[in-house]
Structure 1
Amino acid sequence: MLSNSKTFNLWFCCLVAGGCMILNGYDSSSFNAVQGSKEFMDYFHNPSPSVIGSVNTAYTVGGIVTGFFISAPISDYLGRRWTMHLGCAFIVISSIISTFTPRVMGGFIAGRALTGIGQGLAMPAGPVYINEMAPAEKRGMIMSFWQLFFGVGSFLAYWINYGCTKNAESLGDWNWRVVILLQCLAPVVIMTGLLFCPESPRWYIMKDRTEDAVKALTLVRDNPDQVQIEVQEIRQAIMFEKETNPGRYAPLWKDKAIRYRFLLACGINIGQQFTGQGSLTMYSTLIYKKVFKSNSEIQLINALNGTFGILFTLNATWMVDRFGRRALLLIGAAGMSMCMFIVAAVVTETPDLADGAKSRPVGIATVFLMFLFALFYKPSWGATVWIWTSEIFSMNIRAQAIGMATQSQSISNTILQQIFPIFLDKKGFYAMYMFGAINVVLFGFVWFLIPETKGVALEHMDTIFGGVDHAHEGAEMMERNPKDQEVIAVEVENASRSAKAGPV
């Protein structure tokens, strides 16, 4: 047992798993930040924009390979917790390699690839674990912290980098090494926290370990009767899925309802990166160089952006279960489109100063619009895309589908990371017109294709996408081949006593 408070236990377990998103936020922001370091660029012999793109590509390719093909099998075999453990371990190793690599960009790229592998393992397992632990009525609010932790990672990376930038002369090469090395702190904290968390109850039931599942649920649910009902529905749904849709990957293509939602999930995750946020996160230093000339000033803006990103994401915690997923996605797409069109016009239609920078009013307007873009993005296409994706799949293919759908972000990011720095170098802020138009398309995508999932239990989610109710169908199967309900009631009672008596 973690605590006598079931609410504390629930939040502790979910927030530890949610911490895996700190890894992504810190990593994407740290490399973006160190690109502004003269010492970093000199150490690696001033790499070209295409080489910088390759560094990011190595990271995303590593994530794609493990996210698509490795994370889900490990998650189903060893459990969600151990998959997060392994991912964090890879990132600790990669941080050390990237920090102490010789003056050859290949060593740094290898470290980035290992970081991608680690994140490809941990990041699909994190939302699966959270959704399998959280009750339906709190799922959206709890899952919103997943994106919030991206902001926490960015906050830490940008402020650490800003501090190093202000002391660059005395630190020398360590002004970028410190930023990269401190990436290993978050995974160490997560690995420690996971030692005190139970495994997902749904994973236990999938492994025919019903009593362990009851104990895990009893740690995070106040009502023993609700535990019994939830365990029963999970068992019914898993029984139905094993009978009608066996396999881990085949149902993604064979079952029409599953295939439809999988394609929607891939589409919405690709859209998340094409909003422009992925490029703004990775290349904000290069973007702001089109307007400002002081690297210290640019890193301060990045640090403030990371700070406000946390505050902006907090809006999702009270909005997503109140207004629903669709409303946030629609408002976000409309707002982001407006910001991109306006900032493109502000920068491209104003004259440059003698040093190539922009006037102070133009700089202030640019920063304001970029922050306003983040205000629209963070609670909508930032937090809500993860919430929607991680709650729509049935148990038998959940780990596989979430891993593959969320890695669609990496695929689209790989394309953007190769194209965007070159496009930005050649065309400047005209690139923002492209993102404005894409967000208009995303508004239509949500309006016509994305259904509302607010408040629907995981075991009943299939009905929204034209499928049958897995829990109901499983109940009918159990009536034909029942297991004595008194056994489950005894398991709940025993688990409750065990939870009160001491650690499980």
Structure 2
Amino acid sequence: MGAFSMTPSRAYNWYISLVAASCMVLYGYDASVYNAVQGSKHWDAYFGNPSTEIVGAVNTAYTVGAIVAGFFFGGPVADYFGRRVGMASGAFCVVVATFMQTFSPRGNIGCFIAGRVLIGIGQGLALTAGSIYIGEMAPMEIRGTIMSFWQMFYSVGSFIAYWINYACTKHKASLGEWDWKMVVIFQMMIPILIVAQVWFIPESPRWHVKCGKYNSARASLSRVRATEQDVEDELLMITEALQFEKEAISSSYSALWKDRSVRKRLMLAFILNAGQQVTGQGTLNTYSTIIYKKVFKNASQIALINALNATMGIIFTANATWTVDRFGRKFLLIIGAIGMGICMIIVAAVETETPVLADGAKSKPVGIAIVFLLFLFIFFYKPSWGATTWIWTSEVFSMNVRAQAVGMASQTQNVANAIVQQFFPTFLNNCGFYAFYMFAGINFLLAAFVFFCIPETKQVSLEEMDTRFGGQNHVEKGGDILGVDDAHHADLDQIMGKVSNKQSAIRHREVSE
């Protein structure tokens, strides 16, 4: 069945996945909203014309909150309370933080920064739970296609933020200080929608099985799988994998460093996710306003370019929906990195080797060329390092460590972001567009890293992913433990009886010891 062939269960699968993907709108909006308000003179005046170091610190505050939540809270919340609670609690934090930022007392940049920290915490919770939820609910054959909407919704967040900002720049005189407050307060729109919908979608069956709720797991699967046999087969494989992980590896997060295969995946995911941010996209998304100020002098023109960039980002990300399950994750990452590296070299050369006009701007042809090249950059970035990094990260970890590993790996994006974004405003100030040569070199190194180190993971079931990283097949090994004749085909009454007997034996053994 094709990705877009619609049965009732397939349509419902798309719906619940898009609800979860809305968590990424939070990320896209926030990453763009601070970039947008930097173009407002009212924002500068309201907070006493902060220095470039303070500007960097405001952005870093968000990443610190996200890193803390992703490394220490996102995984445990999603594992112990469920994926839906993780998404809802993160969205609620964003609503509270939006009020803190919008109504910060005049001159109190500390309150604005505190709001940024809380938004980071909220997104660390929501992004961990949301990405895992999609990976666990989507059918194997279209998992990459559905997950590509995760990155697309980041672009949707940017789209909303930049177009609201552009509208506000056209009415500065009438809005006054609300030219930036309006952009900030609209951030609560999507998290309110998430909280309103998340309780009406099914919880992950893998979480239910981990908690011993087999009937609840079956009920969840029956809403997103086409036939009863599909439900029973998948429930069997989940049960087998979890049983093997519990007995042969570890049911706790200790497997992150005890199991060689998991440890290898975690290191690769750290590098891949950090690489996503040092391609140059993280910097462009946060500081494109001050970058474009070196080329253009009209604030409204810069706001329009940012809005168009976000619009094209949605279109470019759509390329992942038909390429990621056809050509694979590895191919997209390599092509994307090479394309981005070439774009960065040409952008740097065009800006640094052309004259500056009397008003401090570049000529119109040069400006158009730079904008075109940066748009071409996101053409390569969005379906590859934008979408595919998240897809790969959400699917490679076994259930016993998935929530914590995805939370930690995804937040290495913010670790890298915090380092680069803190010094980039000063770097750009001192070196201008020569800074982009650094990003070009990084992108070529990332292409080599993927070629030599990253295994292909398309159309591999979550429960059998370990075989791609030198680990054992958790489904087959779990089937051996449970005494199942066919590890991939369910006779569930028989299986549940054996699971129950096995667990009783384990409890008896523990009591005896």
* TM-score range for the pair, normalised by the shorter chain length: over 0.9
* 2:223 corresponds to 1:216: no
Give yes or no for contact 1:218–1:227 (8 Å, CA) kept in 2: yes
* 2:69 corresponds to 1:73: no
Q: 1:205 to 1:351 in 2, by over 3 A?
A: same
- Equivalent in the alignment of 2:501: none
Q: C-alpha distance in 2, partners of 1:396/1:442?
A: 29
Q: C-alpha distance in 1, partners of 2:242/2:485?
A: 14
Q: C-alpha distance in 1, partners of 2:364/2:72?
A: 49
- Equivalent in the alignment of 2:148: 144
Q: Which of residues 79, 87, 92 is equivalent to 2:90?
A: 87
Deviations 1:17-51 (Å, cap 9, x if unpaired)?
01100000000101100100011111111111110
* 2:138 corresponds to 1:134: yes
Deviations 1:390-415 (Å, cap 9, x if unpaired)?
10000000001000000000100000
Q: 3-state SS of the aligned residue for 1:396?
A: coil
- Structure 1 vs Structure 2 CA RMSD: 1.7
Q: C-alpha distance in 1, partners of 2:188/2:252?
A: 33
Deviations 1:112-161 (Å, cap 9, x if unpaired)?
01100100110011110001101110100000000000000000000000
Give yes or no for contact 1:238–1:396 (8 Å, CA) kept in 2: yes
Q: C-alpha distance in 2, partners of 1:111/1:486?
A: 50
* 2:417 corresponds to 1:408: no
Give yes or no for contact 2:340–2:380 (8 Å, CA) kept in 1: yes
Give yes or no for contact 2:232–2:491 (8 Å, CA) kept in 1: no
- Equivalent in the alignment of 1:45: 48
- Equivalent in the alignment of 1:123: 127
Q: 3-state SS of the aligned residue for 1:395?
A: coil
- The code of the aligned residue for 1:273 comes to Q
- The code of the aligned residue for 1:79 comes to G
Q: Which of residues 436, 444, 451 is equivalent to 1:440?
A: 444
* 2:379 corresponds to 1:369: no
Q: 1:196 to 1:480 in 2, by over 3 A?
A: closer
- The code of the aligned residue for 2:201 comes to C
Q: C-alpha distance in 2, partners of 1:158/1:181?
A: 13
Q: 3-state SS of the aligned residue for 1:12?
A: helix
Deviations 1:448-474 (Å, cap 9, x if unpaired)?
001100000000000000000001000
Deviations 1:171-199 (Å, cap 9, x if unpaired)?
00000001000000000111112121010
Q: How many residues align?
A: 489
Give yes or no for contact 1:460–1:470 (8 Å, CA) kept in 2: yes
* 2:15 corresponds to 1:25: no
Q: C-alpha distance in 2, partners of 1:456/1:88?
A: 31
Give yes or no for contact 1:248–1:400 (8 Å, CA) kept in 2: no
Q: C-alpha distance in 2, partners of 1:92/1:480?
A: 49
- Equivalent in the alignment of 2:38: 35
Deviations 1:360-379 (Å, cap 9, x if unpaired)?
01000000000000000000
Give yes or no for contact 1:233–1:471 (8 Å, CA) kept in 2: yes
Q: 1:188 to 1:102 in 2, by over 3 A?
A: same
- How far does residue 486 in structure 1 lie from its aligned partner after superposition? 4.6
Give yes or no for contact 2:101–2:116 (8 Å, CA) kept in 1: yes
Q: C-alpha distance in 2, partners of 1:7/1:181?
A: 35
Q: C-alpha distance in 1, partners of 2:324/2:218?
A: 29
Identity across matched positions, percent: 56
Matches within 5 A, 1:218-297: 218-297=222-301
- How far does residue 482 in structure 1 lie from its aligned partner after superposition? 12
Once the two structures are overlaid, the 10-residue window that deviates more, 240-249 or 465-474, is 240-249
* 2:470 corresponds to 1:466: yes
Q: 3-state SS of the aligned residue for 1:33?
A: helix
Give yes or no for contact 1:228–1:488 (8 Å, CA) kept in 2: no
Q: 1:482 to 1:298 in 2, by over 3 A?
A: closer
- Equivalent in the alignment of 1:496: none
- How far does residue 245 in structure 1 lie from its aligned partner after superposition? 1.8
Deviations 1:418-465 (Å, cap 9, x if unpaired)?
111110111111111000010010010001001100000000000000
Q: C-alpha distance in 2, partners of 1:276/1:385?
A: 15
Deviations 1:180-224 (Å, cap 9, x if unpaired)?
000000001111121210100000000000110000000001111
Q: Which runs of 4+ in 1 moved over 6 A?
A: 480-484, 488-491
Q: Which of residues 188, 193, 209 is equivalent to 2:197?
A: 193
- Equivalent in the alignment of 2:318: 314
- Equivalent in the alignment of 2:500: none
- The code of the aligned residue for 2:53 comes to S
Q: 1:208 to 1:49 in 2, by over 3 A?
A: same
Structure 1 regions of 5+ residues with no counterpart?
492-504
* 2:181 corresponds to 1:177: yes
- The code of the aligned residue for 1:75 comes to A
Q: Which of residues 487, 490, 493 is equivalent to 1:487?
A: 493
Q: 3-state SS of the aligned residue for 2:294?
A: coil
Q: C-alpha distance in 2, partners of 1:438/1:480?
A: 49
Q: C-alpha distance in 2, partners of 1:488/1:424?
A: 65
Q: C-alpha distance in 2, partners of 1:416/1:480?
A: 52
Q: 1:263 to 1:367 in 2, by over 3 A?
A: same
- How far does residue 248 in structure 1 lie from its aligned partner after superposition? 2.8
- How far does residue 480 in structure 1 lie from its aligned partner after superposition? 8.0
- How far does residue 4 in structure 1 lie from its aligned partner after superposition? 8.8
- Equivalent in the alignment of 2:433: 429
- Equivalent in the alignment of 2:396: 392
Matches within 5 A, 1:285-364: 285-364=289-368
Q: C-alpha distance in 2, partners of 1:356/1:486?
A: 73
Q: C-alpha distance in 2, partners of 1:490/1:48?
A: 63
Q: 1:196 to 1:45 in 2, by over 3 A?
A: same
Q: C-alpha distance in 2, partners of 1:480/1:273?
A: 45
Q: 3-state SS of the aligned residue for 2:401?
A: helix
Q: 3-state SS of the aligned residue for 2:27?
A: helix
Deviations 1:249-277 (Å, cap 9, x if unpaired)?
21111111110111000000000001000
- Equivalent in the alignment of 1:166: 170
Q: 1:34 to 1:486 in 2, by over 3 A?
A: closer
Q: C-alpha distance in 2, partners of 1:329/1:420?
A: 25
Q: 3-state SS of the aligned residue for 2:318?
A: helix
Q: 1:405 to 1:490 in 2, by over 3 A?
A: closer
- The code of the aligned residue for 1:15 comes to L
Q: C-alpha distance in 2, partners of 1:199/1:486?
A: 21
* 2:211 corresponds to 1:207: yes
Q: 1:361 to 1:123 in 2, by over 3 A?
A: same
